[in-house]
């Protein structure tokens, strides 16, 4: 009887171990499958379209790219920092660094994809020289875009900034303002609406936001003089994922010939150009 009991217990032990082994294998298989899924947060149509092309390319390598669409300029970073997304494709590195400092976050830019043609636009004037003194100029109210807008105006000779501030200037760093411009600081998402304001002479903005008011860089009074990839739109992820197989795949498909062709065709080259 004792021998039978021992054999019975041994049988159940083997069964339990076998079941555990099967469970472990199932979990490993599940994990392996999940490792082939990359969630990318995006905010604007151009980024969405590019990511959709990348998703088709990734399928060839057995990866699935899921697109998480967001509607503001904080959510896509929150999602990556909190682990809800593996990466985002929505911003340049200075904007990401601004987020890191504000949130004590650990995001890293891992691959520049394209540059955006930034400039100033006016509904009433065909050139900056026509703008009367004392008019309002609408610029973004975040530090990175404020500095960038002022640098563009300084490069055009319309204002002079304090020595050495570069892209980090604020309106307090304007040391010469010969046209007496007044500054209207607006959230980047609402800058396009300022275009129609009767007392606004010109606005600073990105092509993606200007689409809703049917403007392209061809309509700009003047564009930024670019000399580097300082403001290139980047793939961004968390530090611990930077060298992962997912990010290697994402960088590969986001710099593929299919993406380059999209960025350089006639429909899109007015608003952006490939830098990789």
SS (H, E, C) 88-108: EEEEEHHHHHHHHHHHCCCEE
Task: Specify whether 198 is located in the same domain as 249.
Answer: no
Reported as type and span, the H/E element at residue 186 is strand 182-186
**Any domain includes 59:** yes
**What is residue 264's predicted lDDT score, i.e. its pLDDT?**
86
Task: Choose between 142 and 34: higher pLDDT.
Answer: 142
The whole-number average pLDDT for the span 227-255 is 94
Task: Specify whether 158 is located in the same domain as 249.
Answer: no
Task: Specify whether 203 is located in the same domain as 240.
Answer: no
pLDDT band at 226 (very low <50, low <70, confident <90, very high): confident
**Any domain includes 218:** yes
In this model, does residue 4 exceed pLDDT 50? no
Task: Specify whether 219 is located in the same domain as 265.
Answer: no
The tally of domains found in the chain comes to: 2
**What is residue 8's predicted lDDT score, i.e. its pLDDT?**
42
Task: Specify whether 265 is located in the same domain as 216.
Answer: no
**Any domain includes 29:** no
**Any domain includes 20:** no
Q: For the chain, give me the number of helices (H) and strands (E)?
A: 9, 13
Query: 89, 107, 96: which is closest to 38 by C-alpha?
Result: 89
**Any domain includes 8:** no
**Any domain includes 19:** no
Tens of pLDDT, residue by residue over 7-36, are 444 444 445 444 455 555 555 444 445 589
* Interatomic CA distance for residues 98 and 201, integer angstroms: 29
Task: Specify whether 81 is located in the same domain as 216.
Answer: no
pTM of this prediction? 0.80
**Any domain includes 9:** no
How many CB atoms lie under 10 A from the CB of residue 247? 20
Question: Residue 189 belongs to what domain range?
Answer: 119-223
Task: Specify whether 44 is located in the same domain as 104.
Answer: yes
Cβ contacts of residue 28 below 8 Å, gap of 6+?
none
Tens of pLDDT, residue by residue over 67-89, are 999 999 999 999 999 999 999 99
Q: Among 180, 207, 223, identify where a domain stops.
A: 223
Give me the CATH number covering residue 165: 3.40.190.10
**Any domain includes 2:** no
Task: Specify whether 167 is located in the same domain as 125.
Answer: yes
Query: 153, 274, 162, 276: which is closest to 225 by C-alpha?
Result: 153
Task: Specify whether 240 is located in the same domain as 214.
Answer: no
Task: Choose between 93 and 23: higher pLDDT.
Answer: 93
Task: Specify whether 63 is located in the same domain as 146.
Answer: no
């Amino acid at each position: 009887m004792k021998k039978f009991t021992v054999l019975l217990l041994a049988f159940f032990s083997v069964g339990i171990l076998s079941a555990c082994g099967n469970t472990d294998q199932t979990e490993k298989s599940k994990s392996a499958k999940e490792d082939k899924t990359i969630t990318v947060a995006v905010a604007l149509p151009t980024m969405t379209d590019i990511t959709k092309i990348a998703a088709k390319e990734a399928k060839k390598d057995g990866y699935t790219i899921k697109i998480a669409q967001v509607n503001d300029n904080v959510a896509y970073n929150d999602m990556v920092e909190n682990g809800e997304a593996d990466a985002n494709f929505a911003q340049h590195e200075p904007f990401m660094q601004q987020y890191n400092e504000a949130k004590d976050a650990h995001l890293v830019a891992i691959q520049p994809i394209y540059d955006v043609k930034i400039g100033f636009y006016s509904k009433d004037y065909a050139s900056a020289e026509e703008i009367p003194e004392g008019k309002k100029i609408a610029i973004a109210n975040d530090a990175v875009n404020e500095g960038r807008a002022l640098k563009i105006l300084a490069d055009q000779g319309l204002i002079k900034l304090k020595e050495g501030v570069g892209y980090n200037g604020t309106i307090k760093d304007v040391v010469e303002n010969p046209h007496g411009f007044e500054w209207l600081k607006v959230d980047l998402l609402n800058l396009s609406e300022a275009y129609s304001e009767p007392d606004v002479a010109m606005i600073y903005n990105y092509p993606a936001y200007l689409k809703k008011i049917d403007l392209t860089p061809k309509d700009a009074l003047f564009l930024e003089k670019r000399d580097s990839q300082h403001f290139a739109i980047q793939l961004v992820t968390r530090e611990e994922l930077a060298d992962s197989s997912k990010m290697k795949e994402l960088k590969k498909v986001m710099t593929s010939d299919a993406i380059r062709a999209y960025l350089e065709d006639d429909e899109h080259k007015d608003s952006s150009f490939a830098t990789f």
